[in-house]
Chain A
Amino acid sequence: AQSVAQPEDQVNVAEGNPLTVKCTYSVSGNPYLFWYVQYPNRGLQFLLKYITGDNLVKGSYGFEAEFNKSQTSFHLKKPSALVSDSALYFCAVRDLNTGFQKLVFGTGTRLLVSP
């Protein structure tokens, strides 16, 4: 079964510092990977995706993610964190078993950016 793991429940970073939110995946075949962000009392917002091609994927709000096949990782990064980036971040993988674009989500990582 396809799955993703987010090993950190929470990440703390000071504003202006670089941030990394970790995600590892377990899939059969080539992975389709996603990052979503969830602000309080709001639905999930799409940030970026990896399907194929360049291992460094750029997304919304200055975020990027690096696909690493050898380490089966897809870590989310941003060079300089903002207080407004504080939110819940979810990594997801497309489940290939059903063939109907089903997503399997990780448990989420809470990012707290301090002023």
Chain B
Amino acid sequence: EAGVAQSPRYKIIEKRQSVAFWCNPISGHATLYWYQQILGQGPKLLIQFQNNGVVDDSQLPKDRFSAERLKGVDSTLKIQPAKLEDSAVYLCASRHISRGIEQYFGPGTRLTVT
């Protein structure tokens, strides 16, 4: 089966600009996660969806970050306006509800804010 797809792979923007990332999870995976991985650190969960509903966004900086999963499949993560400290790799992961608890990750989007 196809893995988790993400685009773009790389993005360079200036501070105060906006940016959007796209994720297509593994087919049939109802749970979708967005993580932020800053260089030298482990991934940190930003938001978790179950189908098209948000189940955990406690670590999402809601003043500038937003995410949606309107039809319960694809998801987009947006940053507006971006700050220098948002430079990181943004990882999308998905999980099937009843086939184990491990998550499957996409290749990530590397964001550089200048």
Work out how many contacts link A and B, with CB atoms closer than 8 A: 60
CB neighbours (8 Å) of A51 from chain B are 101
How many residues on B have C-beta within 8 angstroms of the other chain's C-beta atoms?
28
- The answer, yes or no, to whether B105 is at the interface (CB within 8 Å) is yes
Given A43-B4, A43-B108, A45-B105, are A107 and B41 neighbors across the interface (CB < 8 Å)?
yes
CB neighbours (8 Å) of A46 from chain B are 102-104
Asked whether, in the complex, the Cβ of B102 is within 8 Å of the Cβ of A44, the reply is no
Whole-angstrom distance between the Cβ of B63 and the nearest chain A Cβ: 22
- Taking a contact as CB atoms closer than 8 A, the residue among A34, A98, A101, A105 that contacts B31 in the complex is A101
Within 8 A of A (CB), among B77-95: 91, 93, 95
- Taking a contact as CB atoms closer than 8 A, the residue among B6, B45, B106, B107 that contacts A103 in the complex is B45
Interface pairs A-B: 10 shortest CB-CB: A105-B42, A43-B105, A44-B105, A46-B102, A100-B55, A43-B107, A43-B106, A105-B43, A43-B108, A107-B42
Cβ contacts B31-69/A at 8 Å (1 or 0 each): 100000000111111001010000110100000000000
Q: In the complex, A90 Cα to B35 Cα: how many Å?
A: 14
- The answer, yes or no, to whether A31 is at the interface (CB within 8 Å) is no
Chain A residue nearest to B108 (CB atoms) is: A43
CB neighbours (8 Å) of A100 from chain B are 31, 48, 50, 55-56
Given A32-B101, A100-B56, A101-B101, are A44 and B41 neighbors across the interface (CB < 8 Å)?
no
Cβ contacts A78-97/B at 8 Å (1 or 0 each): 00000000000010101000
Within 8 A of B (CB), among A2-45: 32, 34, 36, 41-45
Asked whether, in the complex, the Cβ of A41 is within 8 Å of the Cβ of B101, the reply is no
Q: In the complex, A41 Cα to B9 Cα: how many Å?
A: 9
Given A43-B4, A94-B101, are A101 and B95 neighbors across the interface (CB < 8 Å)?
yes
